[in-house]
């Protein structure tokens, strides 16, 4: 299964981008043995609309255009399920085993995701009750993708 990330906003050069790249590189190297391939990070422009609802709708249109056909969509949102790493890995592994071709994780803009896009997602997931900057969300997500591969392959990176 190919796994990609769609994110509203651009990650500038710096330690955050370096750390995301490090974890995604690890995922890219470890994933194929478990049947998981990293496709890419698609960065989309933030809307410049004057109100939050319009910004979210405009960003949702861009996200929907970037989604592969029939992709399993995981939206990151504060209203989502709060899973531990094993539960997330099991979700990824289950859908890989079911023959899903693509899974895409979506990180919305500063105002969050459009409600229609969030409701359309196969899974809405949160990364905790705290509010995280988008740069940190990318780091957390990249690390959890790598951790999921290590859990699925029985690698000792994850300690229970």
- 132 among annotated binding-site residues: yes
Q: Where are the domains of the chain?
A: 2-153
**Is the predicted pLDDT of residue 68 greater than 80, yes or no?**
yes
- 76 among annotated binding-site residues: yes
- 127 among annotated binding-site residues: yes
pLDDT confidence of residue 37: 97
In this structure, what token pair is assigned to residue 58? 């405009």
Long-range contacts, 126-131 (Cβ 8 Å, 24+): 126/76, 126/77, 126/78, 126/79, 126/80, 126/81, 126/82, 127/76, 128/82, 129/78, 129/82, 131/78
pLDDT confidence of residue 23: 97
Mean pLDDT value of segment 9-20: 95
- What is the rounded CA–CA span in Å between residue 80 and residue 129? 10
pLDDT confidence of residue 159: 66
- 67 among annotated binding-site residues: no
- Of residues 26 and 158, the one with the higher pLDDT is 26
Q: pLDDT of 100-119, one tens digit each?
A: 999 999 999 999 999 999 99
Q: pLDDT of 40-60, one tens digit each?
A: 999 999 999 999 999 999 999
- What is the rounded CA–CA span in Å between residue 160 and residue 149? 15
pLDDT confidence of residue 157: 77
- 130 among annotated binding-site residues: yes
Q: Which CATH number applies to 2-153?
A: 3.40.1280.10
Q: Which runs of E-coded beta strand occur in the chain?
A: 2-8, 37-44, 72-82, 102-107, 123-126
In this structure, what token pair is assigned to residue 141? 């997500």
Work out the mean pLDDT of the chain and round it to a whole number: 95
Contacts of residue 55, Cβ cutoff 8 Å, sequence gap at least 6 = 46, 47, 48, 49, 109, 111
- 103 among annotated binding-site residues: no
pLDDT confidence of residue 26: 97
């Amino acid at each position: 299964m190919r796994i990609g990330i769609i994110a509203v906003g651009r990650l500038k050069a710096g330690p955050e981008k370096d750390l995301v790249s490090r974890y995604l590189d690890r995922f890219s190297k470890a994933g194929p043995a478990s049947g998981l391939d990293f496709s890419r990070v698609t960065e989309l422009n933030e809307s410049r609309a004057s109100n939050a609802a319009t910004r979210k709708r405009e960003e949702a249109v861009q996200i929907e255009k970037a989604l592969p056909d029939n992709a399993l969509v995981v939206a990151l949102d504060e209203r989502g399920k709060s899973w531990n790493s094993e539960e997330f890995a099991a979700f990824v592994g289950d859908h890989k085993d079911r023959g899903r071709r693509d899974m895409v994780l979506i990180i919305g803009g500063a105002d969050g995701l459009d409600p229609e896009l969030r409701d359309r997602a196969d899974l809405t997931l949160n990364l905790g009750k705290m509010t995280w900057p988008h740069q940190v969300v990318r780091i957390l997500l990249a690390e959890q993708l790598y951790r999921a591969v290590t859990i699925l392959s029985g690698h000792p990176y994850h300690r229970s």
